[in-house]
Structures are given as C-alpha cells and as structure tokens.
Amino acid sequence: MANSAQARKRARQADVQRAHNTTLRSTLRTAIKKVRAAIDAGNKTDAQAVLLSSVAVIDRIADKGIIHKNKAARHKSRLSAAVKAIA
C-alpha cells in the first residue's frame, strides 16, 4: 500500500483512470461484436453501415491510447474483409 500522500493520490487517480479505460475497452468490444453479428446475419448493406460506425469507435479508442494503433488497424482490416466477403 502507498505510504506517502503523493503515492496515495496516484493510486486513487489510477483507480479512476482504470475504470474509465475499462468502459472504453468495453465500448470497443461491443462495436466489434455488432459488426460480427451483422456479418453473421448476411445483410451486406447493414453490415457496411455498422462497420462505418464501428471504425469510428475503433479509431477514437486507438487515438486515446487504450489500444495500440496497429491493433486498431488489424481489427478494421479483418472486419472490412469479412464484410466484403459477404455474398
């Protein structure tokens, strides 16, 4: 446990920031799941619409440093390839 006042404050701040980051990470996962659900449904136009909104979420979370930019690019690439593969 933190002993100095400075260390106690940093621990409090870290708890708040961790909770905030967890919320953002959950938002990211939900956006990805929405695209996968639209792909499984098989409707290409709906999947493309959901992909556009999800790409915005992925980029926003990568810009905040919650995930690495390469991980964001990988998710966008794979989701977009899956949407294009819908017959």
pLDDT of res. 19? 97
Query: What is 5-84's CATH number?
Result: 1.20.58.110
pLDDT of residue 2: 84
Spatial neighbors of 58 by CB under 8 A, at least 6 apart, are 28, 31, 32, 72, 75, 76
pLDDT of the residue at 75: 98
pLDDT, one tens digit for every residue, the chain (87 residues)? 789 999 999 999 999 999 999 999 999 999 999 999 999 999 999 999 999 999 999 999 999 999 999 999 999 999 999 999 997
Tell me if 35 sits within 8 A of 79, measured CB to CB. Answer: yes
Return the domain boundaries, the chain: 5-84
Token pair of 26, please?
């959950």
